[in-house]
Amino acid sequence: MAGTARTKLRSQQWFDNPADPGMTALYIERYLNYGLTREELQSGKPIIGIAQTGSDLSPCNRHHIELAKRVRDGITAAGGLAFEFPVHPIQETGKRPTASLDRNLAYLGLVEVLYGYPLDGVVLTIGCDKTTPAMLMGAATVNIPAIALSVGPMLNGWHRGERTGSGTIVWKAREMLAAGEIDYSGFMDLVASSAPSVGYCNTMGTATTMNSLAEALGMQLPGSAAIPAPYRERGQIAYETGRRAVEMVHEDLKPSDIMTREAFENAIVVNSAIGGSTNAPIHLNAIARHLGVPLDNDDWQSVGHHVPLLVNLQPAGEYLGEDYHHAGGVPAVVAELMRGGLLPHPDARTVNGRTMGENCAKTENLDDKVIRSVSAPLKEHAGFINLKGNLFDSAIMKTSVISTEFRERYLSNPEDPDAFEGKAMVFDGPEDYHNRIEDPALGIDENTILFMRGTGPVGYPGAAEVVNMQPPAYLIKKGVHALPCIGDGRQSGTSGSPSILNASPEAAVGGGLALLRSGDRVRIDLRKATADILISDAELTERRAKLEANGGYAYPEHQTPWQEIQRGMVDQLSAGMVLKPAVKYR
Ligand code: FES
Ligand code: MG
């Protein structure tokens, strides 16, 4: 139970066990060889791991190499001993075929380290998209005292007096390149202007989302998520995080005491308020599964959909990471939610031993252009809906990003204002889309719904961020800037188009998308949260029999051992894309 003082430290089973001098000596001698003393290892000081996710290969998290020194200082000051160790790198933008292939690999590696080495507690260094869920999933499984530390976002990017945000600027640069306003070199310069310092993406992409949610779950010190990486407060909170890790070991305050069902409900509400990424349900559902906390996409709709958007960050809004911090970061968002009566569980416990409500209630919102109040939000109903039908059992849509143009074109029938029907155009993976989208023979028009399949955790190992597809150039020239997009893959947290994502089960495991054919009519009802191919059940059954007779939906060969191993045991996006055999270990 939390709060019960520990009598014997876990690490003493390795380093101070008089009943077994042989093993104790073997365990201890090699840790002395770089200068540690027996006194340090045997005096009952808590040993705190620093799970290091930064490296030259992971620039978003690389500043953790510096911050770890301050974490270590904090651990030492509180009477602990720091053991820093490397975590398998995950770089969102650098890893092929996709960084999400590595989330579960880093998770497995962390579990082995936390379980197999003499650690009493751990500081989880988080930042780039998947590093955060990987670390929280590992801490959930092993359940030793754990506290997360964000690396912090980059400073704001600027180009000719305008803010340029990570990822988001790429979409704009593509349009400028296509329009001939910039060339190849101008393209590189414009995009690179969004990355002016160490840190993770400065937009409300998956990184800012997941770091904010790690704080909303109670796993970071209050205010920690939003401090920009180069700011002095970042080093200061690294020190405080190290100190607190030692105290948490003495208090035996574990991940399962903090990441409760109540904490997840708070995080879902915060996700809506910050305009969080559609990757968040995948990762939070995964963390919950490793804790044994029931959580699914129905909860995301029922707990989160009604919550308004308060945070004005790109891509949905105007500002960037530094502005978010100056306005007060996560505590200011939570305080606004509390004032509006929208935080479901102010009494949820956090890593500092106090409740979410105690930590945040008095936080002042220092810039109401960046963080709005519940009474003057940027958008109503900013959470997700969870669509179902014969196309899939679950798919996520952020209805608040539907543009006026889109609404007028697709949702303007007064008798049926929340539904639209269209003709399906189906692509099997991103290459197929790129090869064929401009082909006029496909007959793509404003009544077409674009589908992308073969891009789930099995089909495209790890699930690709490719569902947001642009219409063909001839339609864009006619003023059709977005067609409805549906797929079994993901969407980058830094893009802002209205898409139906994360469809589960995916085509590769026989989901309804595998039965869809170009030309089929499809109906989407946003009020009922349904998505269906408009064909008879008999026809569906016939198509399924044919698919199965042909050996199922075909997907590309494995390229690495891990791709093959993960494909054999990975669950669907709606179920967190976890490794199925792993969830029973707690
Ligand atoms: Fe690493 Fe965005 S690419 S945080
Ligand atoms: Mg991403």
Residue 296 neighbours by CB distance under 10 Å: 16
* 376, 308 Cβ separation under 8 angstroms: no
Ligand 2 centroid to residue 460 C-alpha, Å: 15
Evaluate whether 89 touches 53 at the Cβ level (below 8 Å): yes
Q: Is residue 126 a contact partner of residue 44, using CB atoms and an 8 Å limit?
A: no
Query: How far apart are the CA of 465 and the centre of ligand 2, in A?
Result: 7
Ligand 1: nearest atom to the Cα of 205 = 2
Distance from Cα 117 to the centre of ligand 2, integer Å: 32
Nearest atom in ligand 1 to 92's CA: 3
Test site for ligand 1: of 62, 64, 126, 129, most ligand atoms within 8 A of the Cβ: 129
Give a three-class secondary structure readout of 9-41.
CCCHHHHCCCCCHHHHHHHHHHHHCCCCCHHHH
Lateral strand order in the sheet of 521-525 = 384-387, 394-398, 499-504, 485-487, 448-453, 419-428, 521-525, 530-533
Nearest CA to ligand 1 atom 2: 201
d(CA 97, CA 558): 11
pLDDT of residue 8: 87
Ligand 2 midpoint to CA 205 (Å) = 7
User: What confidence score (pLDDT) does residue 496 get?
Assistant: 54
To test the ligand 1 pocket, which listed residue (93, 132, 202, 209) has its Cβ within 8 A of the most ligand atoms? 93
Pocket test for ligand 1, best of 63, 201, 203 (most atoms within 8 A of CB): 201
For the CA of 59, the nearest atom of ligand 1: 1
Under-70 pLDDT residues of the chain: 1-7, 493-497
Question: Which of these, 470, 474, 395, 377, lies nearest to 427 by C-alpha position?
Answer: 470
| Distance between Cα 154 and ligand 1 center (Å) | 10
Which atom of ligand 1 lies at the shortest distance from residue 93's CA? 3
CA 27/CA 75 separation, integer angstroms: 22
Residue 48 Cα to ligand 2 midpoint, Å, equals: 30
- Determine the Cα–Cα distance for residues 255 and 112; give it in Å rounded to an integer: 17
Question: Which residue has the least CA distance to atom 3 on ligand 1?
Answer: 92
CA distance 582 to 570: 10
Residue 5 Cα to ligand 1 midpoint, Å, equals 39
Question: What was the pLDDT predicted at 357?
Answer: 98
Determine the residue of 95, 100, 126, 128 to mutate for testing ligand 1's pocket, defined as the one with the most ligand atoms within 8 A of the Cβ atom.
128
pLDDT at 172: 86
Q: What is the pTM of this model?
A: 0.97
- Token couple for 118: 């003499």
Q: Pocket residues for ligand 1 (CB within 6 Å)?
A: 60, 92-93, 128-129, 166, 200-201, 205, 207
Per-residue tokens: 239? 């020190």
Among all bound ligands, the one having the nearest atom to the CA of 463 is 2
Query: From the CA of 91, which ligand is nearest?
Result: 1
Judged on CB neighbours under 10 Å (0-12, 13-18, 19+), 11 is: buried
Report the distance separating Cα 391 and Cα 490, nearest Å: 16
Tell me which residue of 528, 584, 444, 556 sits closest to 98, measured CA to CA. 556
Quickly list H helices, 78-159.
Answer: 103-116, 131-142
For residue 281, the CA-to-ligand 2 centroid distance in Å is: 13
Confidence (pLDDT) at 410: 87
Query: Three-state secondary structure along 385-436?
Result: EEEECCCCCEEEEEHHHCCHHHHHHHCCCCCCCCEEEEEEEEEECHHHHHHH
Pocket mutation for ligand 1, best pick of 53, 92, 95 (most atoms within 8 Å of C-beta): 92
Burial of 521 from C-beta contacts in 10 A (0-12 / 13-18 / 19+): middle
Token pair 């640069």: residue: 173
CA of 62 to the centre of ligand 1 (A): 11
Residue nearest to ligand 1 atom 1, measured at CA: 128
Ligand whose nearest atom lies closest to the CA of 278: 2
Cα of 134 vs centre of ligand 1, distance in Å, is 14
